[in-house]
Copies of this chain bind each other. A is one copy, B any other.
Amino acid sequence: MDRAEARERALDAAEELFYGRGVQSVGMDDVRGTSGVSLKRLYQLFPAKEQLVEAYLVRRDTRWRGELAAYVERRPEPDERILAVFDWLAKWFREPGFRGCAWLNAYGELGATSERVAAQVRAHKRGFRQYLEDLVAAAGRPDALAGQLFLLAEGAMVTAGVTRSAEPAAEAREAARRLLGAG
């Protein structure tokens, strides 16, 4: 197992464990057990747990936004693309093991104590919001709409996480549809 593969395995384990059980209730020893990467190697790759958390959030951010964009861009119409964001959320919420937004969970746990984690969360949310702004601009809609869609999406993620239901995605989609209709 070379360095790159060890890194991937460590991040796979970190993602599964941190997202599923929360960061603080997972020890480095759990990451070792799940990944098969020894503690020594883990600390060579990530000098401290905080940096493993950061790397987990970075990698997940890339994949999350990539999958969203891939899904959305299958729709040809600009207005359809905007609504597709909420369809994708619904699909995500229904995945087994869904436990809310990884970044908001991490922020609740570590935002007050880790500046690196807080910065990652802000970067992810900024990226998502920027993506919505791009979709809104491409549809020739007013800028202000993007912020409103963003709030609907955030509310849906948080509510789906707490209530363990996919329903908020449909509610948010309907609200978005009405905002589009009225705009």
Contacts of A179 in B (CB 8 A): 175, 178-179, 182
A151 nearest CB neighbor, chain B only? B155
A143-179 CB mask vs B (1 if < 8 Å, else 0) is: 0100110111111101101110000100110110011
| A154–B159 touching, CB < 8 Å | yes
A170–B112 CA distance with the chains assembled, in angstroms: 25
Of A17-25, A37-45, A133-141, the stretch lying at the interface with chain B is A17-25
The A interface is mostly helix, strand or loop, or mixed, namely: helix
Choose one: B20, B109, B152; the contact of A152 (CB below 8 Å).
Answer: B152
Extra inter-chain contacts (16) besides given A155-B155, A179-B182, CB under 8 Å: A21-B112, A22-B113, A25-B113, A104-B104, A104-B108, A104-B158, A104-B162, A148-B175, A150-B159, A151-B151, A151-B159, A151-B172, A151-B175, A155-B156, A158-B158, A179-B179
